[in-house]
Amino acid sequence: MKVLFRIVSCLLFASMAWAAERPNVLFIAVDDLRPELACYGKSYIKSPNIDRIAKAGIRFNHAYCQQAVCSPSRSSLMTGTRPDTTRVWDLVTHFRQALPDVVTLGQHFKQNGYFVQGMGKIYHGGYDDPVTWSVPWQTPKAVMYALPENVALNQRRLEGEPDGTPAERKGGRKQDRSAQGAPSSNRDTRGPAFEGADVPDNTFQDGKVAELAVSTLRDLSGKKEPFFLAVGFIKPHLPFVAPKKYWNLYDPSRIQLAPNKFRPTDAPDYAIVPGGEMRAYHGIPEGSIPDDLARQLKHGYYAAVSYMDAQVGKVLDELDRLGLRKNTIVVLWGDHGWKLGEHDAWCKHTACENDTNAPLLLSVPGMKNAGAGTDALVEFVDIYPTLCELAGLPLPAHLEGTSFKPLLEDPGRPWKTAAFSQYPRNPGQTKAGALMGYSMRTSRYRFTVWVGREDHSKVEAVELYDHQADPQENTNIARQPAQAERVKSLMEQWRRGWQGARPGAAATAAAR
């Protein structure tokens, strides 16, 4: 009996020691954040706290979301599967409809002994997934605007979060079609697109979320089990609202407008949409946005980025103060990119570089290449397996991404040959009916194939952009005779899909 007691005691002690050694995870999600940050070489942006994560970790220069709109991107990342598996291509579908038993990222950590808590925008607004969390997810209530005149204007709009909630899009109300890049059915029903009032940070949601995260970290620091804390910030999502002090960080006369205020040459007209989401805000005209207004919008976006960055800083400061940083993985990601006038368009809702390329930063305690960057192609669907591997957790069989942990050891090693994104177009947006644009980004090219939504063998259009000669994707060269062999080769690679682009996949195929 004494022997049995000693064995049980040893096993219990080993289990407790293993739990104590496992790293915590601080999982920071940011809405509509493009890789226009100081740590990405844009020194005019004031993002000192996000830069702290980059300095202590690794910066991914070529990280791509799987679909450039909130719910599809977040559903893909949190389930570790791609939009055609989640069946989430819009803002009105929950991934549990197609995947009722899928184990989400947070759920997997919870099942493996982690205390998992979420706050702010992790899943798309109005949709939660209770089994993901150890305790109910929460978001503090806050005003959208501070100035009374803007509050009054905004009272005309449908209630809910900026992209609209499921309740707004059902029950007889008009659906906000901006999720598909269509002109908004809520034209000019919201408040202004920007505001800079002299108010405290905690006037708005991100400030309150930061306060909640700080208090939660204090509670978690006393727990025996490791934690996975998901903190979601909504800025710089529209409207570009931030306290005045963040507007004051930028001189509007020095803000540069997009250099390519025109649609891509020889691209299908539905490849880039103008940004119906933006037109739902008061004072935004249809058609091309005048330069003076565009400069104000960019000023507001930059201010919102710096406001959000300051909230990230408060959470990092508390992590440091509590002595938790030395055993905490920190990952920050933007759910997709964003256009600020490029191609004479705004917002997301396309499969172009501006929309699919988003920031991804990862800091791991003790990593040897802290402060490095990598040009390796990675996808947001890879985040799930990477965090599992870093935490020593088994990988679920359903995952459709690849852990990029090896890049932490060698940022320059050969990696994926392509990253994949997609975006749908509805029948009213094309003459060919419902289409899906499947886009493949290689180290040099972006190759997009538009096919029938139901019949993928029916190719309606092809786009090819050479990032070596045309990094802004201004000219589609797919139909140029000189590119015929290139298009043929890329089409073959595109047909092999994400499975054929995994590290070592080409060598494995050649050896068969």
Catalytic residues: 70, 124
CB atoms within 10 A of CB 261: 15
DSSP 275-317: -TTGGGSBTPPSSSPPHHHHHHHHHHHHHHHHHHHHHHHHHHH
Instruction: Using alpha carbons, select from 417, 371, 405 the residue that is nearest to residue 510.
Output: 417
Using a 10 angstrom Cβ sphere, with 0-12 exposed, 13-18 middle and 19 or more buried, the burial of residue 412 is exposed
Beta strands in 324-434 (DSSP E): 328-334, 339-340, 346-347, 360-363, 372-379, 419-425
| Spatial CA neighbour of 45 closest among 27, 29, 33, 55 | 33
> What gap in Å lies between CA 376 and CA 61, rounded to an integer?
8
Q: Which residue carries 């910066």 as its tokens?
A: 59
Count of C-beta atoms within a 10 Å radius of residue 64? 29
Q: Which helix (H) or strand (E) holds 460?
A: strand 459-466
CB atoms within 10 A of CB 313: 16
**Using CA of residue 42, residue 45, residue 50, residue 52, what is the dihedral sign?**
positive
CA gap 336, 348 in Å, rounded: 8
CA distances, 482 to each of 159, 440, 487, 488 (Å)? 53, 20, 10, 12
Measure the CA–CA gap between 179 and 194, rounded to whole angstroms.
20
Would you give the DSSP letter of residue 405? H
The three-class DSSP label of residue 40 is helix
Mapping DSSP to helix (H, G, I), strand (E, B) and coil, where does residue 36 land?
coil
Distance between CA 190 and CA 304 in Å, rounded? 18
Q: Provide the β-strand partners of residue 464.
A: 447
Residue 296, CA distances (Å) to 29, 134, 252 in order: 26, 42, 7
Tokens of 169: 């899009």
Sorted by sequence, the CB contacts under 8 Å of residue 248 that are 6+ apart come out as none
